[in-house]
Amino acid sequence: MSSTDIDALVMLVMFDLWKSEEEDLKELINEIDKTNKLKGQQRELLQSLNKQKAVANEKIREEYKANTGVSTSQTKIANIPVTKETVQTPRLNIKYTRAPHFPVLKDPGQMSLPELDSAIRNTTSNLQSLEDISQLDQLALQDAMQKQAQILQLISNIMKMEHDTLKGIIQNLR
């Protein structure tokens, strides 16, 4: 094999590595998008729950004024923790956290005050967990983008060396 063939093979391998890195970055960005959508949904749910809690509190105050106090039911909502499933991209093994799935709660308008309180605590906890996941994934994305930039810089340096070598050979022939 000549040095030109070796250089071409190195370029081919480096370009393939760059393409793999790009595909892994796309996968990571898709997961970050999913997490961001989940954060938006959790924020909307939290806002809805807080509004419903304010309505329920007002209703309880009105009932208390009309009667001499009405007890509310003491039902509880199960606290469902966010599980962090860490996976790796198939090509370059970049670690990231897959967007979790949350159970669908019943309509806030049909919840009792203790259920609303529990749902608000759970939603706030879920939102904080999603924020943590998002920060970790953004760091992984930043690291992967730096790796891709290094690969691209290496490809550029190899091409420049090859160009300079060929340019030197041509000048020596003259």
Domain ranges of the chain: 3-173
Query: For residues 131 and 114, what is the distance between their CA atoms, to the nearest angstrom?
Result: 26
Burial class from Cβ neighbours inside 10 Å (0-12, 13-18, 19+) for residue 89 reads buried
Query: For residues 31 and 26, what is the distance between their CA atoms, to the nearest angstrom?
Result: 9
Say which CATH class 3-173 falls into: mainly alpha
Helix 3-66 to helix 113-173 angle (10° resolution) is 160
Query: For residues 144 and 80, what is the distance between their CA atoms, to the nearest angstrom?
Result: 32
DSSP the chain: --HHHHHHHHHHHHHHHHHHHHHHHHHHHHHHHHHHHHHHHHHHHHHHHHHHHHHHHHHHHHHHHHSS--PPP-------PPP-EEEE-TTT--EEEEPP--PPPPPGGG--HHHHHHHHHHHHHHHHHHHHHHHHHHHHHHHHHHHHHHHHHHHHHHHHHHHHHHHHHHHHH-
Give the pLDDT mean for 96-100.
79
**pLDDT confidence of residue 37:** 92
**pLDDT confidence of residue 43:** 92
**pLDDT confidence of residue 33:** 92
Whether 74 shows a pLDDT value over 50: the answer reads no
Give the pLDDT mean for 156-160.
87
Q: Full-prediction pTM beyond 0.75? A: no
